[in-house]
Structure 1
Amino acid sequence: MKAIILSAGEGSRMRPLTLTKPKTMLPVAGKPIIQYNIESLRDNGITDILLIVRYKEEMVRDYFGDGSDFGVNITYKTQKDFLGTANAISYGEDFIEDSLIVLNGDIILDNEIINEIIKKYNYLVPDTLMVLTEVEDPSAFGVVEIEDGNIKKIVEKPKKEEAPSNLVNTGIYI
């Protein structure tokens, strides 16, 4: 399994913190947010990682380099336009060989979470697995409508009263 981490966004809702660095490089407990995911992937045996970058991408490239200091192999692709998650993942077309885990770079996942997600995927063997979570107010998220156990549609940031459910996309896919 390989991994793609989406790290191109500017993080405009996190200003002024993101005026000088991408949101994935904001430090939490002494290291950038994205580093937690890279280390957790590595600790679960996933060492080939593609980072999709754009905003202040030189900071990400300079910090992680080829990944060897972190025990992984990192390659980079620069996203030209912000056309959604599927577009960002499409930059990995030549990188993808078999199964793939995709993570938003601005979330923090530990080893156990990634391990559980991979185990669930291997147990269920779906074409695609999207990790969801339940929230009280889904209006700030991509809200998922499910029909017969399958995703029917995703509504981006609907008004609370118009949300098809309270299940939201966590930004984790296999």
Structure 2
Amino acid sequence: MKAIVLCGGKGTRLRPYTYSIPKPMLPLGKKPILEFVVNNLKHNGFKEIYLTVGYLKDHIVKYFGDGSKFGVKIKYFEESREMNTAGSILPCKECVEDTFIVVMGDHLTAANPMKLADFHKKKGALATMALKRTGVPLEYGVAHTDREGRIEKFEEKPIVQNLINSGMYCFEPEIFRYIKDGYDFAQDVFPRLLKEKKKVYGYIFNEYWVDIGRVPDYEQLNHIISIVDLVTH
């Protein structure tokens, strides 16, 4: 099974770090973010990986080459411009003939994408979104009242459980019929699939997951990994 990793964005929210380095190549300890992504795919049985590249692509191509030193086969597909999340996989269309997954080049997770694919196939789905269970604390206390207005229960800043889009997907090749240049998976593709009542499922996982999307997120995670490297070496 093939995996497509999206690596073409400019990472504007991570500036100034991304002025000279593409976001997937930002270091976490001694490795770039993308190496963690590739290693997770390899560990879970993905041997053929497509990287969509654009902004400062040479950093990625030079580091990973054909993928042989990482135990996988890597092929590159260039975005002529920023094509958004869904649009960026269009250059891969002719090389995808069976079920495939899409992951982000700047997300770290311990989840097994092959389990996502297995779930997807069992459901006979066209598209499956991996959903991370997470708790979001509310900013204020919440009161629960009866019909008369009497307070029965009060919770100070309760944590609301939600299922969030992790940016990891599994698709059938038919999905390309629903993608145009500039389309976003969450804003364009999935809403259209739901509107047309296509078979769309959500695969829920509890493993570690983080989106390294902002400077504080990156700096905190890099600090933690640096400490782990120091302690274990």
Q: Aligning the two structures, in what range does the TM-score lie when normalised by the shorter sequence?
A: 0.7 to 0.9
- Aligned residue for 2:96? 96
Question: C-alpha displacement at 1:167, in angstroms?
Answer: 4.7
Question: C-alpha displacement at 1:123, in angstroms?
Answer: 3.5
Question: C-alpha displacement at 1:39, in angstroms?
Answer: 1.1
**Residues 62-87 of structure 1, C-alpha deviations (whole Å, 9 max, x = no match):** 00000000001101011012232221
- Aligned residue for 1:116? 115
Q: Write the distance in 2 (CA, Å) between the matches of 1:125 and 1:41.
A: 23
- Aligned residue for 1:64? 64
What letter corresponds to residue 41 of structure 1 in structure 2? L
- Aligned residue for 1:15? 15
- Aligned residue for 1:149? none
**Residues 9-58 of structure 1, C-alpha deviations (whole Å, 9 max, x = no match):** 11010011111101101111311111111111111221111100011100
- Equivalent pair of 2:54/2:81 in contact (CA under 8 Å): no
- Equivalent pair of 1:135/1:168 in contact (CA under 8 Å): no
Question: C-alpha displacement at 1:135, in angstroms?
Answer: 6.2
Question: C-alpha displacement at 1:171, in angstroms?
Answer: 1.1
Residue 35 of structure 2 corresponds to residue 39 of structure 1: no
Residue 130 of structure 2 corresponds to residue 131 of structure 1: yes
**Residues 82-131 of structure 1, C-alpha deviations (whole Å, 9 max, x = no match):** 23222111111022110101001000123x43343234324333221111
Q: Write the distance in 1 (CA, Å) between the matches of 2:131 and 2:43.
A: 23
Segments of 4+ moved more than 4 angstroms: none
Q: Write the distance in 2 (CA, Å) between the matches of 1:128 and 1:39.
A: 24
Q: Write the distance in 2 (CA, Å) between the matches of 1:8 and 1:41.
A: 19
Taking a change above 3 Å as real, the CA distance of residues 14 and 68 of structure 1, as seen in their structure-2 partners, is same
CA RMSD of aligned residues (A): 1.8
Q: Write the distance in 2 (CA, Å) between the matches of 1:121 and 1:30.
A: 35
Q: Write the distance in 1 (CA, Å) between the matches of 2:34 and 2:14.
A: 15
What's the % identity of the aligned pairs? 37
What letter corresponds to residue 73 of structure 1 in structure 2? K
Taking a change above 3 Å as real, the CA distance of residues 24 and 122 of structure 1, as seen in their structure-2 partners, is same
What letter corresponds to residue 5 of structure 2 in structure 1? I
- Equivalent pair of 1:103/1:173 in contact (CA under 8 Å): yes
1:172 pairs with one of 162, 168, 173 = 168
Query: TM-score, length-normalised on structure 2?
Result: 0.58
Q: Write the distance in 1 (CA, Å) between the matches of 2:83 and 2:53.
A: 14
What letter corresponds to residue 62 of structure 1 in structure 2? K
Q: Which runs of 5+ in 2 are unaligned?
A: 138-161, 171-233
Query: Which structure has the larger Rg?
Result: 2
- Equivalent pair of 2:103/2:168 in contact (CA under 8 Å): yes
Q: Write the distance in 2 (CA, Å) between the matches of 1:135 and 1:81.
A: 36
Q: Which runs of 5+ in 1 are unaligned?
A: 138-165
